[in-house]
Structure 1
C-alpha cells in the first residue's frame, strides 16, 4: 500500500468514526425535553416531578426539532396547566380611551310579569323566593276557584253531549271549542285540558302554570291571599343580557354614539374584558349635575354577572382603527418587541414585530403580523422562558421572522 492510499483510508476511517460519535448526540438533542413549572418558569429540570418552589406538578416541554430552535410544542394538558390563551389578530380601535365607572343593572327589555287570570284563593305557592329560576310550564301556585270548577263541568258536559246526543241542530264541536277556550283563557294549559277530558274529573283547586321564564325578581302574593283578574303574581327578569349604566359629562356625550363598541371589566370577577355595545345615550341631562346617562348592553351567558356589581368601562370615540393585538400579547426587552404566534400544526414560534400607538387594551401593529394570525395573549412569558432555557439569553431572538 503506497503512501497516498494509506492517507485516504485513514481519513475515511476517522470520518466514519466521527459520524458514529455525533449521531447519538443529535438523536439525544432532538428528543431532549425540559420540565418546568407554570407558576415558576425559572425552574428547569431534566426529569418529571414537582416544583421545588410551590410543589405543583411540573409540565413537560419537548424540543423536538433542532432545526426549529425557537419552536415550542405543548400538548393539551400542558396548555391547560400553563394557562395558554390565544386571540386573533384583527382590526380594533386603538385610539384614546376614556375610563368610566358604571353599575350593572337589569335589562328592562327582558322583564316579564305573570298575572292572575281568574279570581280565587291561593292554596299553595310553589315559587317562594326572589332569585329562584322559573321556566314556562312550571307550577306557580294552586288556585281554589268555584268559577273554574264550573267551567270544567261545562267542558266535560259538552264532550258528553257530543257522544250521547245526536241533535243535528246543535253544533257540539262549537260548544266544546267555546268551553275549551274559556279554560285556556283562565290559565289551563293544553295538557291540563287533555288530562281533564281523559280523567273526566273536575276539581275546585287547579294548579296554575307559568307562562314566563327567567329569574324571579318580585313575588306579589302569599299562600292564603285572594287574587283577582290581572293581579300581579310574580315578576321575572332575564340575566343572559344585562345593562351597564354610567354617566358622561355633557361636553363629552357628543363624542360617542349608539352601537359604539366598548370593553367592560367587572371588578368583582376579574378576567378578560367583555365586549359591550352602547345601547342608549340619554339626550336629556339629569338634574343639577348636568350629566348624561349612557347605557351599555353586555352578554351574560354563564350568569356570573349580577345586577348591582361595579363595572369599569373603556370607551373610545371616533378613534383610529388599525390591525392590533391585546397589550398582554407583546413582550418587550432590549432587543425589541415580539409576540408568540400559534402555528398551523399547533406549535408556537416567536415573531419580531413593530408596534405602534395603542390604548390600555390594544396596540396597533405596524409590521410583523397579518390579519387572521393567532397570537398568545396569556402565557407568553412561559414560552419565552422555555426558549431562553433552550437557546440561551443571548440568542433567544435568533432566526425569528420579521
Structure 2
C-alpha cells in the first residue's frame, strides 16, 4: 500500500508540473510571431502516459477484451417436496380389523408386491366360502357343467375384486379351507410417507391405510416475481444444486400446473421437476435453482475492469505506456464478467488492476488544467 500512495503522490506531482509547464510556454502564436498559421497543441484530457517503471509501481495488470458465450443467470432458493402426481394412497380393500402392519416406519422403502397388511374380515370369509361351495356343486352337478363353471368363475372374480391375488385364490381352492385372515400386498413401489392407522383398528372399505411416494423424481418449490414467469416459457436451461451434494448438478424442468396467476399478484409459486434416480434427494432439502437464458456470443470483460462513478468507464491501453479512459455501456452479467454493448471491441487491452489509481491521476490531471491553476509555481 505504501508503494501505491508514493506512486500516486509522484504521479500527481508530475502531472501538475506538466500542466504548469504547458501554461508557461504560452501561445505558440506569440512565441513565433513570424508565422501566419498557428499550430494548436494536440492534448487528450482522457489519457494518461506511464513509463514502464510507473506501471510496475502502480501494479498495472491488463487483460484482452474477448468474444465469448454468455447468458443471463437467475438463482432461486427453493425446497424439495413430493411430486403430488407420484403419490399412491393404499386403501382398505374390505371391511374388517387390521391384524398386522408389515410396514410402519416413515421413509421406509416399499417394493411392489411385498406384504403391506393383514386384515381379519368376516365378510371376506363369506366370499371365500362362496367359492368353495361353488366348486363342490360343480363336482356334484356334472350335468350342469356350463352353469356351474359360470358360478365358480363369478366367485373367483369377486375375490379378485376384494384384493386377493390369483395365487391366494389358487391356494384357497387347493386347501379347501377358508380363513377370515388375509394378507394384502403393495400395488406399487415407493417410500412410506404417511401411516394414519394402527394395528387392531377397525376399517371400512376405502379407508386410507398407507401413503406411498415415488422419490425417483421430486418437485422443487420456489418463488418468482410474476413479471419473470415468462422466462420459463423461453426454454431456459435449468440446473439445481444442493449443499448436501456440492459436486453434483441436477437438471430440472418447470412444471406448468400452477393455478391461474392474478394480475395484481407480485410473487408466484413455481415448481420444477428434478430426477433423483438413486433416491438420494429427500423432501425438505434446500435447493438452488439456476435459470440460464438468453445465451449468446458477445464482447465480455472482467468486472474488475469497470469504474463506476458519474459515468461507467474502463481504462484501455492504446499504446506503449498510453492509457485512455473510455465510456462503456454494459449488458448482461454474471459473477465475474459483464457484457459490453458499446465502447470496447474484441482484441483491445484493458486494465483489470490499477484502474482506480489511474482514475485518481486523471481527475487531478484535469484539475491541473482548470482556470486558476496557471499561477502555480512548480
| Shorter-chain TM-score above 0.5 | yes
Q: 2:131 is matched with which residue: 131, 150, 155?
A: 155
- The aligned counterpart of 1:82 is none
Relative to the length of structure 1, the TM-score reads: 0.54
Is 2:137 the partner of 1:146? no
Secondary structure of the 1:248 match is: strand
- 1:361, distance to aligned residue in structure 2 (A): 12
Q: CA deviation digits over 1:334-393, x for unaligned, max 9? A: xxxxxxxxxxxxxxxxxxxxxxx995799xxxxxxxxxxxxxxxxxxxxxxxxxxxxxxx
- The aligned counterpart of 2:314 is none
- The aligned counterpart of 1:114 is 90
Q: 1:236 is matched with which residue: 204, 212, 224?
A: 212
- The aligned counterpart of 1:314 is 290
Is 2:79 the partner of 1:103? yes
- The aligned counterpart of 1:275 is 251
Is 2:167 the partner of 1:223? no
**Distance in 2 between residues matched to 1:140 and 1:202, nearest whole Å:** 21
Alpha-carbon distance change, 237 to 169 in structure 1, aligned in 2, over 3 angstroms? closer
Q: Which moved more, 1:128-137 or 1:220-229?
A: 128-137
- The aligned counterpart of 1:200 is 176
**Distance in 2 between residues matched to 1:182 and 1:217, nearest whole Å:** 31
Q: Which moved more, 1:236-245 or 1:196-205?
A: 196-205
Q: CA deviation digits over 1:49-76, x for unaligned, max 9? A: xxxxxxxxxxxxxxxxxxxxxxxxxxxx
**Distance in 2 between residues matched to 1:107 and 1:361, nearest whole Å:** 36
Is 2:282 the partner of 1:300? no
Whether the aligned pair in 1 keeps the contact of 2:117 and 2:183 (CA below 8 Å) is yes
- The aligned counterpart of 1:71 is none
Whether the aligned pair in 2 keeps the contact of 1:281 and 1:293 (CA below 8 Å) is no
Is 2:184 the partner of 1:184? no
**Number of residue pairs aligned between Structure 1 and Structure 2:** 238
Q: Tell me which of the two structures has the higher relative contact order, counting C-alpha pairs closer than 8 angstroms and 6 or more residues apart.
A: 2
Is 2:271 the partner of 1:265? no
Secondary structure of the 2:187 match is: coil
Q: 1:131 is matched with which residue: 92, 100, 107?
A: 107
Q: Which runs of 5+ in 2 are unaligned?
A: 1-68, 299-331, 338-378
Q: Which runs of 5+ in 1 are unaligned?
A: 1-92, 323-356, 363-402
- 1:170, distance to aligned residue in structure 2 (A): 5.6
- 1:160, distance to aligned residue in structure 2 (A): 2.2
How large is the RMSD of aligned CA atoms in angstroms? Answer: 2.9
Map 1:361-400 to 2 at 5 A: none
